[in-house]
Structure 1
């Protein structure tokens, strides 16, 4: 299998993912990396074509990944990427057999999502003091992430027109270009109003290029996804909360706190933008304090 043909097939697959499946740039990047990694394995093993790959070759590849101590989730994703790629090539009559469909995906590790306790969330927000433009922006970002549970990728593409503070709703463009409306609480609305009226105009004035994006950096241009992690880490340190923290943990906290306080699982599924209910069910864990409270309230001999 020559490298020119490899690249041609990969480009066809990427167009299919982008146009027919509506995959995000992040998903396309993961597929590309996984397929290129398998191409590298093929060349090392002297396999000239995907049609030459046998189940035994696949077992060798998976064994190598585990030997290199890749997480089960990563191994599963790599196999799933190749399975989808081979399925596409078979559909296009470029491949006769999908050998990747013969291998079962590694069982995922059952790790609960990490989250902040409600008291820690209060501490985080209390630590954001000041009325400088960046203070107003950071407070609005964190309040919005926690109030809505949206992904950072979704937050980074928000425009001013997606927000309606008068009725407290936000139009979110999720995975697969799917749209959903999510409500916004009063604390987030207050923070957003302060940022939009007093913070954003100062930041926007730093750039000669007008932008419709909601959140801007100190240069007045669009805030990158990576910057959200930096902002959160900075604000966590200021609040003396020394967690391994990511913006996604606020999404976990959003879902956990809703369910712990009695929200319906399907409502939380809709708010998070999950296609399958099973994805949302990972948040049905409860804190030790919540377990103890429910036990004391409901057990007849507690």
Structure 2
């Protein structure tokens, strides 16, 4: 059996999101192309080294490690199905990661972004909509794919919750997110503006974030005309980053939310609470989102109880 055949079998037998399915199939194809090996029984140290060398020649360590995670999962699946005696990727170590700047958005960048949108209302039409996008991601920690799938029925103002539905979930799960007061206000405003734009009350299954209601220049989603394309969100952040000369994006906002929640001087939440809010299955994934700084580490160290005479 080839690795791509194994990947297809795994995708067919498991419940993954469309994006995860595409990633698994793509990683299997890339491994075969870069290693020169297709059959599972032929995968060994030499082919793994060729794949690693080829991948790291044009990508960062985190990309290779992400690929390796999928390959190890495929190897475990093959082992469970008794297709191979041992996971061929099991002993391959992750590439050492260089220390990268935190993927967070600081207050100065937030101010620059909102200032630019306020001063240039016609450049990102309508600017209030894009402010709503930014605030929603920040106050809820949801992904782009989840934002574009939010429906009216997902909001429960009486109990102050947003249901992050399985439709937009990377792991095909759903969970409840408590609504920050400011998030509740922007949602209510979005509903009012949407009803004014459509000339009717929104129905429970209506999507909330649909940019074409307010600006027809945006392309129609060919897969689901009623739903906004998440690439439109990516495009907005890319253009805005260029205008304010600072990096800001949906994923960075999500990292920022996680970091602030776990910061003892801000959210002060336990990391497991942050894990539940972000919808992560593994705590290790949440740890990748939380960026500590030296001052916080110093404060934690200084708070250690003293041990007499030592």
Instruction: Specify the TM-score bucket, using the shorter chain as the normaliser.
Output: 0.7 to 0.9
Matched, 1:79 2:73: no
Instruction: Structure 1 unaligned segments of length 5 or more: list them.
Output: none
Higher helix content, 1 or 2: 1
Tell me by how many angstroms 1:281 deviates. 3.6
Q: Within 5 Å, give how 1:7-46 maps onto structure 2.
A: 8-18=5-15, 23-41=16-34, 45=36
Shift in CA distance, 214/244, structure 1 to aligned 2, threshold 3 Å: same
TM value normalised by structure 2: 0.75
Matched, 1:217 2:211: yes
The match for 1:58 is 48
The match for 2:220 is none
The match for 2:255 is 252
Corresponding residue SS for 1:26: helix
TM value normalised by structure 1: 0.77
Shift in CA distance, 280/159, structure 1 to aligned 2, threshold 3 Å: same
**Aligned mates of 1:231, 1:200 — CA distance in 2:** 23
Q: Quick one: higher RCO (CA 8 Å, sep 6+), 1 or 2?
A: 1
- Report the number of matched residues: 278
Corresponding residue SS for 1:105: coil
Shift in CA distance, 126/83, structure 1 to aligned 2, threshold 3 Å: same
Note if contact 1:116-1:253 (Cα within 8 Å) is conserved in structure 2.
yes
Stretches of 4+ moved more than 6 A in 1? Answer: none
Note if contact 1:229-1:247 (Cα within 8 Å) is conserved in structure 2.
yes
- CA RMSD between the two structures: 3.4
Tell me by how many angstroms 1:13 deviates. 1.4
Q: Any idea what the Cα deviations from partners look like across 1:221-246, whole Å, max 9, x if unmatched?
A: 31111111222344556xx6321222
Shift in CA distance, 232/74, structure 1 to aligned 2, threshold 3 Å: closer
Shift in CA distance, 96/231, structure 1 to aligned 2, threshold 3 Å: same
Q: Within 5 Å, give how 1:1-302 maps onto structure 2.
A: 8-18=5-15, 23-41=16-34, 45=36, 47=37, 49-66=39-56, 68-129=57-118, 134-173=126-165, 174-199=169-194, 201-202=196-197, 204=198, 212-218=206-212, 219=216, 221-235=226-240, 241-258=244-261, 259=263, 260-265=265-270, 266-282=272-288, 283-286=290-293
Q: Any idea what the Cα deviations from partners look like across 1:174-221, whole Å, max 9, x if unmatched?
A: 33222221122222222222221124541x46xxxx962111122573
Shift in CA distance, 91/275, structure 1 to aligned 2, threshold 3 Å: closer
Tell me by how many angstroms 1:32 deviates. 0.9
Instruction: Structure 2 unaligned segments of length 5 or more: list them.
Output: 217-224, 304-310
